[in-house]
Structures are given as C-alpha cells and as structure tokens.
Chains A and B, each alone.
Chain A
Amino acid sequence: MTLNIEQFLIVGALLFCLGLAVALSKRNAIGVLMGVEIMLNAVNLTLITFSRFGESARPITGPTFVVFVITVAAAEAAVALALAVSVYRNRDTVDVDRLNFLKS
C-alpha cells in the first residue's frame, strides 16, 4: 500500500468543492464565511502536498505561501465577522437574501 500525490490532491479538491457549495448556498452570512474558510484550508492542503511531493528546487516556497494564506485568512475572518455584527446591528438580520440595500 502506498500513498501518492493523487490521493492528497483528490481530498483537497473534494474539500474545496464542499466549501464552494457551502459558500454559495448558505443563507446565513456566517455560514458563507465558514464555506470560505473550508476552501482556504483545502488550498493550504494542496500547497503543502505539492511542496512535499513535487519535484522542486525550492520546496520551502509552498509552506511559506501557506503561512501567508493563514495570515490573510485570519485578517479576513476578523473583518468579515465584524461586518456581519455591524450589519446585524443596523438590519437585525444576517440573511444574505435580505441584505439588498444597494438595490434602489
């Protein structure tokens, strides 16, 4: 029994697709954000997989990029959840179907 790059990449791809489905279909804004976090995690898994298995002169670049992705994901989560709380204060809802104040 051996593990190849394909198995890890398929897990990453399936996780990305699940996250995409969550992000596109959830009604609660916080649920949408959870889908985005799953997608970012799937991308991190794919990056680490390539850095472990891929033929490269500089295998450290993958983990470095993952560190930046985690940093940006943390910043994004903080601002997005603050936005959700702020919208909730003004509209009493975080239902993305009912957040249509840009519609004239």
Chain B
Amino acid sequence: MEGFGVVLSFWVLAAVTLVSAGGVMVSRNLFHAVLFLITTFVGIAGFFVLLSADFIAMAQVIIYVGAIAVLVLFAILLTPHAGRDNGETRMLLPALLLSTCLGAVFIFVIVDADWRTISESPSVGVRELGSALLGTWALPFEIASVLLTAALVGAIMLVRSPEEEAEDALV
C-alpha cells in the first residue's frame, strides 16, 4: 500500500484507535469509558475501509457503534446504584504485566516472521461475500440466525422483573 494519503490516514487511525482504547482503560467515569469505546469502534471501521472491506466497515458502524454501544449505555442506565466508577480490582498489576508480556511476544513474532504477502488487493466485494455466506457457509449462517434468536429470547427472559413473572404465572 503506497501513497501519502493512505499512509497518513493509517497513522491517524492508529493514533485515534489506540489512544481511545487507552482512554477506556484510564477514564474514571464509566460513561466516558463508553464514549472512548465508541471512538475505538469508529477507528476500527476506518481501518476496514483502508483495507478495502467496505461492507464489513458498514456492518461495524451499524452493529458496534449503533447497537452494542447503545446496549452498554442502557446497561449503565439500568444499574444506577452500582455507580459510575470505572475502577480497577486488586489484579491491576498482574493484568498489566500479562498484557505487556503478551504484547511484547506478539510484536516480536510479527516483526520476526517472514510474511508472504501480495501487493494488490484481492477482489472481495459484497457479491463475493454474499455468495460465500449463502453458498459455502450456508449452514453456519443458519446456525448464526438460531443463535441470534436464542440470545434475543434469553436476554428478554433474563431482564424480566419478578412482578412480570408473577403476573405470567397467574395466567
């Protein structure tokens, strides 16, 4: 990948994504952490555009920024007395140590490995993605729809209040 614009947008996206992911770690207020999380998701969507995966970028914006972020915000709203505190447990130091070691290993392996790469982008448009999803991967696709239905029903069952369950038992 060459060109000044592409390289510049890569570094800007990398800075935005990593800084806002760090903001999720360091911000004391849970609401601010969610806002940083949304920025991280948008940055990842930008990476997908840069890697010419347009449909995945759109799905990322719709599902992560649109749905999951709103779901997290609602979960924070529904747990009011739990506080907006985004503090750490006693395991902060081991967690930081473990993730630093893991990151060092990852970076060593990535730099050291001899990747066999291609220069021009392969053609993976929406058409190819659709025929792969409904052709080769039709069975996992259907199983994913069953999983989504199960998650929908499960989430509704879990958040029902005891009064509603009592009313349903009377009927």
Contacts and interface: CB of A to CB of B under 8 A. Distances in A.
A85 B78 contact: yes
A63 B55 contact: yes
B109 to A, nearest CB: 9
Contacts of A70: 56, 59-60, 63-64
Interface in B134-171: 136-137, 140, 144, 147-148, 150-152, 154-156, 158-159, 161-162
Interface string A70-83: 11111111110111
Given A24-B99, A30-B30, A67-B56, A81 B72 contact: yes
Contacts of A85: 75, 78-79, 158-159
Given A10-B110, A14-B18, A78-B155, A41 B64 contact: yes
Interface in A59-99: 59-64, 66-68, 70-79, 81-86, 88-89, 92-97
Nearest to A30: B75
B16 to A, nearest CB: 11
A49 to B, nearest CB: 6
Contact of B68 (A21, A26, A62, A77): A77
B6 to A, nearest CB: 6
B2 A1 contact: yes
A74 B67 contact: yes
The binding surface of chain B is classed by DSSP as helix
The binding surface of chain A is classed by DSSP as helix
A17 B106 contact: yes
Contacts of A63: 53, 55-56, 124, 129
A77 B158 CA distance: 13
Given A52-B122, A71-B148, A28 B82 contact: yes
Interface of B: 1-4, 6-7, 10, 14, 17-18, 21-22, 24-25, 30, 33-34, 37, 40-41, 44, 47-48, 51-53, 55-56, 59-60, 63-64, 67-68, 71-72, 74-76, 78-79, 81-83, 85-92, 94-96, 98-100, 102-103, 106-107, 110-111, 115-118, 121-122, 124, 128-129, 132-133, 136-137, 140, 144, 147-148, 150-152, 154-156, 158-159, 161-162
